[in-house]
Amino acid sequence: MDDITIRKATAEEAEAACAVLVRSIKEICAPYYENDQEILAQWLENKTPTNVLRWIESDRSYCVVAVNAQSQVLGFASISGAEIMLNYVIPEVLHRGISKRMLQALETQAIACGVDHIRVVSSIPAKEFYERNGYVSNGAPRLAGRIVGDYPLIKRMPRKHAPDRDRKLRGRTGSWSGGHGDVCLKAIDDVTNLWPLKIIHT
């Protein structure tokens, strides 16, 4: 997959990124939840182009895309504060290392902002992926509808790679722009307003 580039998402890619989310949930994740239509409806309810555009443009989130040489969006991932909110790819590129590269991009951004741990609520198919990448249990599994299907996980970030933590976090309330133009995430713990219907599977 040498022709795949991971970079910050742009507003123009919101619709394509949304399509990635919908396809991934319907075609990859749904069978793990017995194709339960109630679960899928809740899962997909906030996956709209309008919401994806809002997430991309928000200063409370950092979103990346995986694109090929033809600029086709193959994957979309995001982090808000210290929590990974999304990490999805289309079925055709599953198990080709794209999700890992997007995860690494999110982790790198978080470390640069001084985050010392990252949380995620993983879906059933993504749980082993996160565990292979250093995430461990962060509480009891939760129900997704009638199925035990949400797994809180956490990963401690290396403090030695978190330069000028206090300056960048500005007391956990401000935002900061790094030398490469990346927006330092606002360190927020409650992202309910930004991510409506927060039943997040990655």
182 vs 96, residue with greater confidence = 96
Q: What is the pLDDT of residues 129-171, one digit of tens each?
A: 999 999 999 999 999 999 999 999 999 998 744 445 444 444 4
Q: Which residue has the higher pLDDT, 199 or 101?
A: 101
Q: What average pLDDT score do residues 51-74 get?
A: 97
pLDDT at 200 over 70: no
pLDDT at residue 177 in the model: 33
- Please give, one letter per residue, the 3-state secondary structure of 53-90: HHHHHCCCCEEEEEECCCCCEEEEEEEECCEEEEEEEC
Give 86's pLDDT tier (boundaries 50, 70, 90). very high
Tokens found for residue 54: 């809002």
Q: What tens digit of pLDDT does each residue of 16-54 get?
A: 999 999 999 999 999 999 999 999 999 999 999 999 999
Token pair, residue 77, equals 């991932």
Residues 6+ positions from 102 with CB-CB distance below 8 Å? 6, 64, 66, 75, 76, 77, 87
Nearest 10 degrees: Cα torsion 31, 33, 37, 41? -110
The answer to which of 14-18, 65-69, 103-107, 176-180 has the lowest mean pLDDT is 176-180
Model pLDDT, residue 1? 53
| Beta carbons of 149 and 123 less than 8 angstroms apart | yes
Backbone φ, ψ for residue 95 (5° rounding): 65, 30
pTM of the model: 0.82
Half-sphere exposure of 93 (CA within 13 A, CB side): 22
Q: Exposed, middle or buried by CB within 10 Å (0-12, 13-18, 19+), for 99?
A: buried
Predicted confidence at residue 184, as pLDDT, reads: 55
Q: Report H helices in 24-180.
A: 37-44, 49-57, 98-112, 127-132, 165-173
Count of alpha carbons within 13 Å of 113, Cβ hemisphere only?
35
Q: What domains appear along the chain, each with residue ranges and CATH number? A: 5-184 (3.40.630.30)
**What pLDDT, on a 0 to 100 scale, did the predictor assign at position 182?**
43
Residue showing tokens 């009891």: 140
